[in-house]
Amino acid sequence: MAENTTTVAIAGGSGFIGRAIARRLSRMAEYRVRVLSRSPSQARVRLASIRADFVRADVTDPSLLEAAVRGAAVIVNAAQFDGYPVENPRLGLTFERIDHLGCTALVEAAKAAGARHFIYLSGVGADETSSHPAFRAKGRAEAAIRQSGLNYTIFRPSVVVGQGDRVVSMLTKALRFAPAMVLPGSGRQQLQPVWVEDVAACVALALTASARVRAQTFEVGGPERMTLDELLNLIMNITGYRRPIIHAPESLMRLAGAIGEKLPRPLLSRDAVSFLMLDSICDTKPLVEALGIKLTPAREALAYLATKP
């Protein structure tokens, strides 16, 4: 490793957002990427084309973290609760355990390693006083970072989209096989879809603009706001899959959630319904001013959908 190379350890580096960050930084000669994953062998397959080290780590197992981040000057926490928005407390799959306590453990490991920059991928709406477990856990994680004494940058993305995402992939799959599309609520929930490559670019830019992003929290969204209905119509226009849209009343969705959360492996819950009903919009002006990034329109970000499977 060259003497002037900075090691960046990415927790959740094999996940959807983490992979984009790892790919972006691996193309920059001044950084050496270290992907932290519960399964380094699987991560290596997912990221076979990049120059990186792959290390076993799990944010829910603090005993692994200190060694995993040793020697890293920058820690990026892109680890996310991968069951969102449906928790399964019986299996320990909760936002609190992964997003809050996992992030806190990583912060402690970063301090022990003497890291000089901690970057956290949080989410729009993060608030430690929120009644919703996802926003509360991320808000608590942010508080732990701010109180740590570390130099930090927090990014709060809106709905992150791109090849391999969850939201658009789920909608596209449903469009292919369902005779109609059922959306929760009125369909007027506002979103600000942001391309995953733009999120990765924000992280890369933060590393070179440390003075402007030190101890800062930025909301990250695309350049346009749209409703859930408008996002679905955009996907239908790009893919050519046209389906009628049916709006399920919130009361019916909550009833389904109450039933669903009692199942051994819940596919829906009342908290998940609340999550789906909320707006996810943000103010990107501070981000653009600090980093000079040009955010990608949703149609351009989703252009890959035009190639049908």
Tens-place pLDDT, residues 72-82? 999 999 998 87
pLDDT at 168 over 80: yes
Nearest to 201 by CA among 141, 290, 71: 290
Domain assignment of residue 232, yes or no: no
In a domain, 287, yes or no: yes
- Mean pLDDT of the 169-181 span: 90
> Does residue 267 register a pLDDT over 50?
yes
Nearest to 8 by CA among 194, 210, 198: 210
**Domain assignment present for 205:** yes
Is 190 within the bounds of a domain? no
Secondary structure (3-state) at 59: coil
pLDDT tens across 71-117, in order? Answer: 999 999 999 887 766 777 777 789 999 999 999 999 999 999 999 99
pLDDT at position 213 is 86
pLDDT for residue 146 is more than 80: yes
pLDDT digits (tens, 9 = 90+) for 182-211: 888 899 999 999 999 999 999 999 998 877
Predicted confidence band of residue 260 (pLDDT cuts 50, 70, 90) = confident
Residue 1 has pLDDT above 70, yes or no: no
Is 229 inside a domain boundary?
A: no
Q: Is the pLDDT of residue 309 over 60?
A: no
Judge whether 261 lies within some domain.
no
pLDDT band of residue 167 (cuts 50, 70, 90) is confident
Domain total for the chain? 1
DSSP 38-53: S-HHHHHHHTTTS-EE
Domain range for 38? 6-158+196-221+281-295
CATH of the domain at 104: 3.40.50.720
Distance, CA of 253 to CA of 63 (rounded, Å)? 41
Task: Tell me: pLDDT of 2 over 60.
Answer: no
| Beta bridge partner(s), residue 82 | none
Q: DSSP letter string over 203-256?
A: HHHHHH-HHHHTTEEEEE--SS-EEHHHHHHHHHHHH-----EEEEPHHHHHHH
Does residue 39 lie within any of the structural domains? yes
Within a domain: 107: yes
